[in-house]
Every structure is written in structure tokens, then in C-alpha cells.
Chain A
Amino acid sequence: MAVPVIEVKDLHTHLVTRWGTVKAVDGVSFSVGESETLGLVGESGSGKSMTCLSIVRLVPRPAARIVSGEVLLDGEDLLARSEREMQRIRGRKVAMILQDPMSSLNPVFSVGMQVREPVAAYHGLRGRALGRRAAELLAAVKIPSPAARLRAFPHQLSGGMRQRVVGAMAIAAPPRLLIADEPTTSLDLTIQAQYLALLKELQERHRLAMIFVTHNLGIVARMCDRVAVMYAGRIVEMGPVRELFTAPAHPYTRALMESVPRLGARRELLTAIDGQPPDLAKLPPGCAFAPRCANVMERCRVEAPPEIAVSAGHATRCWLHVPA
């Protein structure tokens, strides 16, 4: 297979807080190829958003620091680039769609001005050609009457429309990698379905590698080819979507699957995960999930498990799967 579009190797990002140094991203490695979607699943504090910010080197400074690792975009390490080079890469090669469409767009500029901006920057177009291309982009994200919409302001559009505008700006270049951080969480369900279908279409058309961050397993099942489950800054399981859903290896993944209500399985009690998400400033030694794990062993509390292969392309960090 060709070189993957994005390859993250042993990424470490630390956050210095009043309560100590937090290892927000603690040794994360994965790769995503063209036209492939990797789902990044986890709860608050799992490190999924920080991983995405680390890839584009937009971690909040000075508190956060990318400590070590490599982020290879088409083979070249982004962490070794200068800030000026990164500015040329952001947007052009790597684009991000964030969760809140209200704050993703500048409220005082029209939609047209905001969509024109990346097009002018990346393609050097001006005047009428610029306007035409901007309208084309809006049409590509299925906004009705795109030419008229160019003059609209963000507050005149609905949430779904705004996210589409954000999507149009994201594919202006078009980029090699699209990172979508919970893009549909604040949208209505039927609008969400439309938007996900749109993202899939854009991915096919431009052969985008996509990283889709979400906590919604239903979206993962629909959108992703592979999924990485994160907990306390580490990837605890990664593999093809089908395998993770049918035969999850890590107890956390299993517990997540069982704790989500499913249509049609009403009268059974959900299997709740005991305890609370971990306090990243006070992580226990050993496996971070040990305090809540139903299958915990003594070894788990003492030693953090390494990555262990479960099957081809499917690995997990869990002592349960040590080959005998």
C-alpha cells in the first residue's frame, strides 16, 4: 500500500497545570490512508481533541507542549517544521472542522467573504473568478442557492447550514487530511444524517484521509473504516470497525458497547461502567482503566500494558490478551 497520508508515531503532549503535569496525549500512534476514515472515540479527558490539535500544532501554549513523537504527513514530519511552514500546511494540506458552528464562523463577515478567504489564499484567484469558485464550493456542500447565500451572514443561517459553510472552507484547497472533531454533536438528528452523508461524499470525491472524533458509537459504525478507542491519553484499542463492534478486546471498549442503549433491547438494564473518568493529574500506576475494570488483575494495577496484537490490524493495550 502507498505511504499513508498521515502517520502519527508515539506522540506525547503534556499540559502543565496547577495540579501537576497532565499527559494529555501519552504515546499515541496510528496512521490513516487515502479515502480512509479513522474514528477517534473517547470521553472527556481521553485526549482525542488534544491529539488532533497536536497534529496541526495548535496546542494551547504555553501550558501545552508537544514533548516527543513524529507526525508524518505524506512522509514529512510536521513536528520538525517551522511555524511559518506550518501556516502554509494548515488549511492547505490539513483542514479541521470543529464542533460548534456558532463560533467557527466570524459573525461580522459575510459567508462569501469567509469562503473567499481560503480560496484566494490557496489558489490566488481574484475578482469574479474568486466569487465563482466560492459559489462552487457552496454548491459542493449542497447549500441551496449558493450564489445568493454568499451575501448572507452566519447568524442568518441554521446550524446545519453553518457547518456546511465550514465544510466548504475546509475543502477549499482541497486538503489531504480532514480532521472532524465532533462536527455533528450540536446538530439535529436529521440534519446530522445529511451532514454525515455529505462528508462521505466529499471524502470520496477528493480522496481525503479523515480522522473523525466522536463519542457516538452509532456514528462510528456508519462513518469509519477503523477506530481507535482512547482512554486517559492512550489508545487502548484500535482496529477495523467490524471487529471492534463484534469482538471488542479491551474491557473499556466492551463496557462502552454494552452501556449504550440500543433500539429494540429495551427492557434490559444497561451495563454501567463503575466509577468516574480518571483525574489526569493523578493517574494510578499501571493501566489507567484498572480502577473501573471488571476484569482487573493484580498486574494491571502495577504495570501499564503495552500494545498487544489481537489479530491482523487489531491491537489493544490490555494484559488479558498477552499471548500465553
Chain B
Amino acid sequence: MSPPERRASPAAGTPLLEVSDLTKHFPVRRGALGWSTTLVRAVDSISFRLEPGTTLGLVGESGCGKTTTSKLILGLERPTSGAIRFEGDDVVSLDAAGRRHYRRAVQAVFQDPYASLDPRMRVGAIVAEPLVINTELDGGARRRRVAELLDLVGLPARAAELFPHEFSGGQRQRIAIARALALSPKLVVLDEPVSALDVSIRAQILNLLRDLQKRLGVSYLFIAHDLAAVAHMSHTIAVMYLGKIVECGDADAVALAPQHPYTRALFAAALPVDVDGKRDETLVAGEVPSPLAPPSGCRFHPRCPHAMPHCATEEPTLRTAADRLVACHLY
């Protein structure tokens, strides 16, 4: 039984999470004595929406900004500019009570099952920690809730007495999921939740996550580099490149019929588990440029097989093309 809510429900039709022109720059000191500063445009004016009970998949390679985006949403970093709206309220300008409410509504599961649980705490204490910090529940009520959560993720109740090192990687991720659900959040940020697990265990955890979404109506921001897993789990996919969203739309549409040249290359590189499948041999040349010096105009143009002259000068905006949003001059 989750603690009572004391806020007015948002108007119907409001997306659970809405991000508008979100930007995060990191200053980097250069020069012999650290005088000159350049900016790393980790996240550069991105916008997307997440509806309640759905999953938004965020994909991209290193330096694309997906980890920074997740930190911004979790409140671990403050945005340089732009807005994050949760149930209609702007997150950055919340008062203390509002921030507390946001904390409880947005939780996370991280990648490394071996580093995300305090090795000196028993599992029961780990799962109960969000309750200790944020609620007034007494010891008995907390214990009951912990037992409930462990059951939800498929762990026996006596797991609460044990320490993390007595569990395998997959089991630890279940503990992390149980902790994330302790406050009955509306949104859980999943940052590479199965990448560190053995292949045969991944399906267990992915199935569990989907089951929990169906049962609890929780939304996910699913960040992973395993494109098939993202496509499997997500309702919507957003593709990021060097801090910008280049394509965003329904998961099946984006995965099976990608439009942006980068998305095409990315999904082609994903290598289907299929011996006879159509091999899309579009190889993208070159390396991912450094976020310190992104190319002018469209950031992908140096590597794009379809680059046109004005791609180098004019940055394409994310606009509607058929059934989705694409940032490309081709459309």
C-alpha cells in the first residue's frame, strides 16, 4: 500500500514527462593554467514527451548525451537551459514539497549490478532506504512493504536478511528494481539495466520489467545500446547523436523503417540475429566527432552518405515527416 498522495492529479492528456529544448553544457578548462574554457554541449536543445504507462527508448553511441539526459531527469544535474515538465509542472522551479514529490515519482535502475547496491547493507535495508528517507512508515510497515516488493520482483522474502554479495548479477538487478519501485514511482529511468548481465538472464529481467509495467502502470525511460532490446521494450524510440535528437517516433516504425541516415546506419549495425536476413550494408565512415567541437550545421554531415551542401551550414530542426519526427534536410 503506497503512502497517500497529497497533490492534485494532472489534467487528462498531460504527458507524464515533457522535455522542451533541454540543454546541458559542461565547461571544460583548457590551456596551461586552466584559463580558457570550452563548452561540451552534452545535451543541446532536445525535446520529447513520455506518456503514462509507456516506455521511451533512448539510443545513441558514446558522447550522444543519453546518460546526461538521464541525469538531468533524475535531478542529478541541473539543466543549463530548457524545461523539464513532470505532470505539467516545471521541475526546476519546484518548491521543497514539489521536489520531494518529484523524487518519489522518479526513480532509477543503473547498469552495474555490482556497484549499485551498498555491500555493507542487508538487502532489506537497501530496498527500504527510499522509504526511510521519504516516508513516515514505521519499522513494521516498512518490512511489510519490502516483502511485497521482493515478491513483485520474484525474490523470496528471506532475501531481505542477506547481503548483496550472496546474489548473482541478475538477482542483484531484481533487488535494484525492487528498490526503485519502493515509492511507487510513476517513472523509472533504466540506464542500461541488462548490459552487464549474461545473455540468458537478460530475457528474465526484460520480461520482469514489462510485466511490472503492465501491472503497475509505471513508465520507463529505457536507455541502452542493445537496439533490439530497446525496440522490444519501447513504445517510442528517440535516437540521439552528439547531443541532439535526430529521429523520434513509434518504436516499430523507427526500428524497421528508419529514416534519418544515422538511424539507418545504427540499426544496420545492430546485426539481426538472422542468417538470411536482408543485409543492409550501409557502413558509416569515420569516428564519432568529439562533443567539444561538433561539426557545423547538421552534426552528422561529415559522415553522412547523403550529405548535401547546405547540410554543412544549416542545422535541420526536428520536424514531422510522415509518422514521426526527423531532423534531416532530406525530409
Contact = CB atoms under 8 A, between A and B. Distances in A.
A/B: CB atoms within 8 Å of each other: yes
A43 B200 contact: yes
Contacts of B275: 221, 241-242, 245-246
Interface in B261-275: 265-275
Given A221-B274, A256-B199, A262 B228 contact: yes
Interface string B157-200: 00000000000101100000000000000000000000000111
Interface in B218-242: 225-229, 231-233
Nearest to B64: A188
A311 interface: no
Contacts of B226: 261
Which range contains the number of B residues in contact with the other chain?
35 or more
A291 to B, nearest CB: 12
A277 B168 CA distance: 9
A263 B228 contact: yes
A194 B266 CA distance: 12
Contacts of A274: 204
B71 interface: no
B284 A273 contact: no
A214 B279 CA distance: 20
A264 B256 contact: yes
B281 to A, nearest CB: 8
A259 B203 contact: yes
Contacts, number: 132
A190 B273 CA distance: 17
A215 interface: yes
Interface string A8-42: 00000000000000000000000000000000000
B199 A215 contact: yes
B61 interface: yes
Interface string B50-61: 000000000001
Contacts of A263: 227-228, 231, 255-256, 267, 270, 272
Given A43-B198, A260-B228, A276-B201, A221 B207 contact: no
Which range contains the number of A residues in contact with the other chain?
35 or more
A304 interface: no
A160 to B, nearest CB: 6
Contacts of A269: 207, 210
A236 B226 CA distance: 26
A286 B187 CA distance: 46
Contacts of A158: 287-288
A217 B273 contact: yes
Given A218-B270, A256-B200, A271-B203, A189 B210 contact: no
A257 B273 contact: yes
A188 B199 contact: no
B229 A261 contact: yes
Contacts of B198: 43-44, 215, 277
B111 to A, nearest CB: 13
Interface string A156-169: 00111100000000
B62 interface: yes
Contact of A261 (B170, B206, B284, B285): B206
Contact of A190 (B203, B231, B269, B279): B269
A59 to B, nearest CB: 22
Contacts of B62: 159, 188
A276 B174 CA distance: 13
Nearest to A185: B195
A273 B200 contact: yes
B251 interface: yes
Interface string A168-204: 0000000000000000000011111110010000000
Residue among B199, B204, B227, B268 having the largest count of chain A Cβ atoms under 10 Å? B199
Nearest to B229: A261
Contacts of A271: 203
9 contacts: A43-B199, A189-B266, A191-B288, A221-B277, A242-B275, A260-B273, A261-B231, A263-B267, A266-B231
Given A245-B274, A263-B256, A276-B171, 12 more contacts: A43-B198, A43-B200, A189-B225, A191-B287, A221-B273, A261-B206, A261-B226, A263-B227, A263-B255, A272-B203, A276-B168, A276-B170
Interface of A: 43-44, 158-161, 188-194, 197, 215-219, 221-222, 241-242, 245-246, 255-257, 259-266, 269-274, 276-277
What are the 7 A-B residue pairs with the smallest beta carbon separation, nearest first? A218-B271, A261-B232, A259-B203, A193-B269, A188-B61, A270-B203, A272-B203
